[in-house]
Amino acid sequence: MWLYLAAFLGLYLLLRWYREKQILSHLTEKYVFITGCDSGFGNLLARQLDARGFRVLAGCLTQQGAEKLKEATSERLQTTLLDVTSTESVIKAMEWAKGLVGDKGLWGLVNNAGISVPTAPNEWLTKEDFQKILDINLLGVFDVTKHMLPLLRKAKGRIVNVASVMGRVSFFGGGYCPSKYGVEAFSDSLRMEISKFGVKVCIIEPGYFQTAITNEKILLDNFTRYWERLPNEIKQAYGEAYFQAMLKGTAEMQAHCNRDLSLVTNCMEHALTAVHPRKRYSAGWDAKLFYIPMSYMPTRIMDLVFGWSYPK
């Protein structure tokens, strides 16, 4: 029996490997729009796809980011300024993209733009702190997708949404984890709604990676700023030792985070180029071997595992 089971598993893995190795042709004729290309995953993906011959349309928040990206890529790559929190900016970017893609439509949309701070214990934050992240990480994904869908339908293309393992498990406060849970939910419902048009939706779930928005200085400054503005009553309730332990824990996590961003962008590239893309991609061994398996565990076990990181 075990021999048959091993043979079946081996055949399944072989067939899966074969399917995933099938890559689309005529990549140089396909247009891909990427948000958040100033730095991090978006910037690397734009350069990576440009090298593959794609016609990359890169949305950058700043003129400086756009200029630096243009300097590092070919003439095929085009940039536009895009603030995903502004519907007016999103519509302008859509009209710009529409003029470039013409009747071919848009093959790929990568919703990558995002921020990770403000992050702190929930009681330290305000509604506006949560809203700042949700406007970019979740509502921005919805707004860009909504306005680009007609172009994607025309090409029967792909939508690649960047979620996170923190969209499966949540062990720190602030709007980041709720925003990524929201991206997961939005992507799942969208995938079923638009499958009739031949448009595929893929979710990228990176583990803990070091990017411009998650570097140690930004996170430590973030904790300090929100601690200092707290009323004395709340400071006394938590205590200085709690605050110092939070700073130490954050620094330790940053020391162990992954700096190889290509593990994430390779997943994005496969989602855009494979004949049979996955519905979900996990990037990083911490995602594959720890965070995602942990998301299936009973809540009691999750609380025990993640609870140790909180100061007592």
Q: How far apart are CA 137 and CA 163, in angstroms?
A: 9
| Domain count along the chain | 2
Neighbours of 248 (CB within 10 A): 12
Domain check: are 265 and 242 in the same one?
A: no
**Residue 76 pLDDT greater than 90, yes or no:** yes
Contacts of 200 (CB under 8 A, 6+ apart): 157, 158, 159, 191, 277
Please answer whether residues 135 and 179 qualify as being in contact, where contact means their C-beta atoms are separated by less than 8 angstroms: no
Q: Read off the DSSP letter of residue 120.
A: S
Helix axes 176-194, 127-137, angle to 10 degrees: 30
Alpha carbon distance 85, 312 (integer Å): 38
93, 150: one domain: yes
Q: Identify whether residues 142 and 176 lie together within a single domain.
A: yes
Is there a domain that residue 265 lies in? yes
Residue 80 has pLDDT above 90, yes or no: yes
Helix%, strand%, coil% for the chain, nearest 5: 60, 10, 30
In a domain, 223, yes or no: yes
- Of the listed ranges 146-155, 197-206, 242-251, the least confidently predicted one is 242-251
pLDDT at 277: 95
Residues 248 and 145 in one domain: no
Mean pLDDT of 216-222: 74
pLDDT of 4 reads 67
Q: What is the pLDDT of residue 126?
A: 94
Is residue 226 flagged as an active site residue? no
- Examine the domain organization and report whether 113 and 239 are in the same domain: no
- Mean pLDDT, range 156-184, rounded to an integer: 95
pLDDT of residue 221: 81
Q: Look at residue 216 in the predicted model and tell me its pLDDT.
A: 59
Q: Are residues 119 and 235 in the same domain?
A: no
**Rounded average pLDDT over 26-36:** 94
Percentage of the chain exceeding pLDDT 70: 96
* pTM: predicted TM-score of the whole model, two decimal places: 0.91
Interatomic CA distance for residues 45 and 284, integer angstroms: 16
Q: What is the pLDDT of residue 213?
A: 58
Q: What is the pLDDT of residues 232-286, one digit of tens each?
A: 999 999 999 888 888 887 777 777 788 899 999 999 999 999 999 999 999 999 9
Of the chain, the end-to-end C-alpha distance in Å amounts to: 50
pLDDT at 21 over 90: no
The answer to the question of residue 150 being in a domain is yes
pLDDT confidence of residue 242: 87
Statement to judge: residues 222 and 273 lie in one domain? no
Domain residues for the domain of 173 are 18-210+259-285
Same domain, 23 and 136: yes
- The catalytic position among 4, 12, 31, 176 is 176
In a domain, 85, yes or no: yes
Q: What is the CATH number of the domain that holds 67?
A: 3.40.50.720
- Interval 214-239 mean pLDDT: 83
Non-local (6+) Cβ contacts of 91 within 8 A are 147
Mean of the pLDDT values across residues 47-53?
A: 96
Same domain, 161 and 37: yes
Residue 312 has what pLDDT? 64
Residue 123 pLDDT: 93
Kindly state whether residues 265 and 174 are assigned to the same domain.
yes
Provide the pLDDT for residue 86. 97
Selection from 63, 58, 144, 151 nearest residue 99 by Cα: 151
- In this prediction, residue 215 carries a pLDDT of 62
pLDDT (mean) for 145-166: 97
| 251 in the same domain as 139 | no
Average pLDDT of the chain is 91
SS3 230: coil
The burial class, CB within 10 Å (0-12 / 13-18 / 19+), for 148 is: buried
Q: Is 63 inside any structural domain?
A: yes
* Residue 290 pLDDT exceeds 70: yes
Kindly state whether residues 83 and 52 are assigned to the same domain.
yes
Arithmetic mean of pLDDT, 60-81: 96
- Dist. CA 252–CA 246, nearest whole Å: 10
